[in-house]
């Protein structure tokens, strides 16, 4: 997709590229020192370390086009790793619903990457049906703290997290969306046990978290008791927009084309095969259409609007596109993709392609399964009401 960039936008893009090049990791450097120095220098640029934060909280206050340029450039640049839970998910909730004391307490450490956070949402039997959660938080008799008991599952990076933002049930007398309370508490305390879950791709990123009589001070509650569902929905919209990964998919698709062009097919290559080329073209059209939706969402955000139901469209289509790229990568690797768990054979990309494909099965499940996104789109975009029959 090509968009018309003004001279100011072109200057901004050149500035971003120059910054990435000047501060790129050099072989032999202490990685952790380089990582923290990179964020410090990005902060000096005027909030580049927190590109999605609003200006009043130290963000850069970019235009939609500048955000678009940043996403495009970061998809190909060698940047330090960053976890999204504190910066992109909890921070907006704190900014919108946290007290001044909570903002002053938590936001600086989130920005400085001093604290790793994880998300305590899904539970056994309450994954995509998030409002069906059963983890209990009971207020103590003196009203100073909650006692939390329950189980969270698919908790990404819980094994390295310092804190968790957690949905708990404080009242079950009404409909299931009521009586949910948003709590923050440290992971390294008595009563919390983390057990790993090894995914289909062979990696350890998700976990089960068992909570037994965990004490949480009342001052660690975000907003009002029983209003957690409202806060959670806003957080999910930020999460779903981030999970779409449009810019990364644009880069991955170009890489796939290069890989397919290296695979012999008779006197030509796989990219010359009409059937395979047709799959690539169909995928590319869908990706461009999804990118336009992302740009519209960026424009709305720049105008001050909160993420809306279009985040479900982005999450639905974006994750499906990621899966299709992984599937075509396996197809391009052919029989050699089957050697992913052993010594590589055939094209160099074949082994990683199968691992990526296996891991990508979860893309349309976490952050709200595709069925949930379709329900959100039907109700809030298409205005289709559920039948009373």
- For the chain, 389 residues long, give each residue's pLDDT as a single digit of tens: 445 678 999 999 999 999 999 999 999 999 999 999 999 999 999 999 999 899 999 999 888 788 888 988 998 888 899 998 999 999 999 999 999 999 999 999 999 999 999 999 999 987 777 788 999 999 999 999 999 999 999 999 999 999 999 999 999 988 888 999 999 999 999 999 999 999 887 889 999 999 999 999 999 999 999 999 988 876 665 555 666 788 889 989 999 999 999 999 989 999 999 999 999 999 999 999 988 888 777 666 656 666 667 778 888 899 999 999 999 999 999 998 887 767 778 888 888 888 888 888 888 887 778 887 888 788 877 888 776 55
Domain CATH for 290:
1.20.140.10
Last residue of a domain, one of 227, 252, 268: 227
Same domain, 216 and 121: yes
Q: pLDDT value at position 307?
A: 61
Same domain, 220 and 253: no
Residue 372 CA to residue 368 CA, distance in Å, equals 6
Same domain, 25 and 144: no
Q: pLDDT value at position 235?
A: 65
Q: pLDDT value at position 223?
A: 95
Q: pLDDT value at position 305?
A: 64
Annotation marks residue 239 as catalytic: yes
Please, which residues bridge with residue 164 across strands? 118, 185
Same domain, 264 and 366: yes
Judge whether 237 lies within some domain: no
Judge whether 94 lies within some domain: no
Q: pLDDT value at position 30?
A: 96
Judge whether 303 lies within some domain: yes
Same domain, 156 and 250: no
Residue 89 CA to residue 184 CA, distance in Å, equals 13
Residue 227, token pair as written in the block: 């209003």
Residue 384, token pair as written in the block: 């289709």
176: Cβ–Cβ under 8 A, 6 or more apart, which residues?
131, 132
Same domain, 279 and 181: no
Q: pLDDT value at position 242?
A: 63
Domain CATH for 141:
2.40.110.10
Last residue of a domain, one of 60, 82, 104: 82
Judge whether 194 lies within some domain: yes
Evaluated on CA atoms 27, 357, 84, 292, the torsion sign reads positive
Q: Which domain holds residue 311?
A: 244-380
Judge whether 239 lies within some domain: no
Same domain, 370 and 269: yes
Q: pLDDT value at position 264?
A: 92
Residue 117 contacts residue 183 (beta carbons within 8 Å) = no
Same domain, 47 and 143: no
pTM for the full predicted model: 0.83
Same domain, 68 and 160: no
Judge whether 321 lies within some domain: yes
Judge whether 388 lies within some domain: no
Same domain, 223 and 258: no
Q: How many domains does the chain have?
A: 3
Q: pLDDT value at position 6?
A: 84
Judge whether 93 lies within some domain: no
Please, which residues bridge with residue 217 across strands? 145
Only one residue has tokens 């939706």, namely: 293
Kindly name the residue from 239, 291, 310, 320 that is annotated as catalytic: 239
Q: Counting beta carbons within 10 angstroms of the beta carbon of residue 327, is it exposed (0 to 12), middle (13 to 18) or buried (19 or more)?
A: middle
Same domain, 249 and 323: yes
Last residue of a domain, one of 227, 252, 272: 227
Same domain, 248 and 196: no
């Amino acid at each position: 997709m090509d968009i018309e960039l003004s001279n100011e936008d072109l200057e901004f893009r050149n500035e971003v590229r120059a910054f990435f090049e000047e501060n790129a990791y050099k072989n032999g450097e202490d990685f952790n020192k380089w990582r923290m120095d990179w964020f410090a220098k990005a902060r000096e640029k005027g909030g580049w370390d927190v590109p999605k934060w609003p200006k009043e909280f130290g963000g850069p206050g970019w235009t939609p086009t500048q955000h678009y340029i940043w996403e495009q450039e970061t998809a190909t640049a060698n940047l330090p790793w960053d976890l999204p839970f504190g910066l992109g998910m909890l921070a907006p909730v704190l900014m919108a619903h946290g007290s001044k004391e909570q903002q002053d307490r938590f936001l600086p450490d989130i920005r400085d990457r001093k604290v790793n956070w994880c998300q305590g949402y899904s539970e056994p039997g309450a994954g995509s049906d998030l409002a069906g959660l059963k983890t209990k938080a009971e207020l103590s008799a003196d009203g100073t703290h909650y006692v939390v008991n329950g189980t969270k599952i698919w908790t990404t990076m819980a094994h390295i997290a310092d804190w968790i933002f957690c949905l708990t049930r404080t009242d079950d007398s009404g409909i299931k969306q009521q009586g949910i309370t948003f709590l923050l508490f440290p992971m390294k305390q008595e009563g919390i046990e983390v057990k790993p879950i090894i995914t289909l791709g062979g990696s350890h990123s998700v976990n089960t978290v068992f909570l037994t009589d965990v004490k949480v001070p009342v001052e660690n509650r975000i907003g009002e008791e029983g209003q957690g569902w409202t806060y959670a929905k806003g957080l999910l919209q930020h999460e779903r927009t981030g999970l779409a990964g449009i810019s990364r998919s644009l880069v991955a698709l170009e890489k796939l084309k290069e890989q397919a062009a290296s695979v012999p097919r008779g006197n030509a290559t796989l990219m010359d095969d009409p059937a395979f080329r047709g799959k690539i073209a169909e995928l590319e059209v869908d990706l461009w259409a999804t990118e336009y939706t992302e740009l519209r969402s960026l424009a709305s955000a720049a105008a001050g609007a909160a993420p809306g139901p279009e985040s479900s469209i982005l999450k639905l289509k974006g994750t499906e596109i990621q899966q299709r790229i992984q599937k075509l990568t396996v197809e391009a690797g052919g029989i050699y993709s089957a050697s992913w768990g052993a010594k590589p054979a055939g094209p160099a990309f074949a082994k990683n392609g199968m691992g990526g494909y296996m891991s990508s099965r979860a893309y349309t499940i976490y952050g709200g399964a595709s069925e949930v996104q379709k329900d959100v789109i039907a109700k809030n975009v298409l205005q289709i009401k559920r039948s009373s029959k």
